[in-house]
Amino acid sequence: MEHVERVGRKKVYEGAVIDVYQDTMKLPDGREEKWDFVDHRMGAAAVVAVTNDGKLIMVRQYRPALDRYTLELPAGKRDSLTEDTLVTAKRELSEETGYESDDWKKILSVRTTVAFCDEHIDIYLAANCRKTSGQHLDPDEDIDILEYDADFLKKKIQAGEIEDAKTIAGIMSYLVLKGEN
């Protein structure tokens, strides 16, 4: 069976979180093409955080790639390549929202943009979340905390008002776990 084969890779950018490569790919017909590849070195975790009254805790923050504010699940990158993503999820929930939970369950893993990036995000359900402190934001973060019913968020997804892949995957998986479609 013929297949695509990488015959070369050149790093064209090294960043704090990502590296960008230009790959030389040999196609089944023998032609060579240049493909871009983004290596997201750390991986990340996101949290479907549910309060005792069934509200989902969301964060609103500015995203420069879209030049606008977005509504998302609390999330963040791992601090090291060996950090367990559950540790990451607990830290990010606490830092971004001031909420904590003793009831955690991994519900899925996603690859956000497989056409050109290897970013991996584990998504956790944190039930019975309670406010324990204020936010502990990084100096470059400005995050609003909001709470919504899952059905309201589902409607925002269906209306195209929530476009973030990890957020859509997490909310829809949560609804399936609850037995809703």
98: alpha, beta or left, given left = phi > 0 and alpha = psi -120 to 50? left
Q: Report d(CA 106, CA 126) in Å as an integer.
A: 9
Query: Is residue 56 over pLDDT 80?
Result: yes
* Mean of pLDDT over the chain: 93
Domains of the chain, residue spans: 5-40, 44-177
Of the chain, the percentage scoring pLDDT greater than 90 comes to 83
Contact between 159 and 122 (Cβ < 8 Å): no
User: pLDDT of 102-160, one tens digit each?
Assistant: 999 999 999 999 999 999 999 999 999 999 977 776 677 778 899 999 999 999 999 99
Contact between 120 and 109 (Cβ < 8 Å): yes
Query: Could you tell me the sign of the dihedral formed by the alpha carbons of 128, 97, 71, 111, in that order?
Result: negative
Helix-helix angle 150-158:165-177, to 10 degrees: 130
53's enclosing H/E stretch is: none
Fold annotation for 44-177: Nucleoside Triphosphate Pyrophosphohydrolase (3.90.79)
Choice among 2-16, 20-34, 83-97, 126-140 with the minimum mean pLDDT? 126-140
If you compute the radius of gyration of the chain from its CA atoms, what whole number of angstroms results?
A: 19
User: pLDDT of 60-88, one tens digit each?
Assistant: 998 989 999 999 999 999 999 899 999 99
Q: Report d(CA 86, CA 94) in Å as an integer.
A: 12
Q: Supply the pTM of this predicted model.
A: 0.90
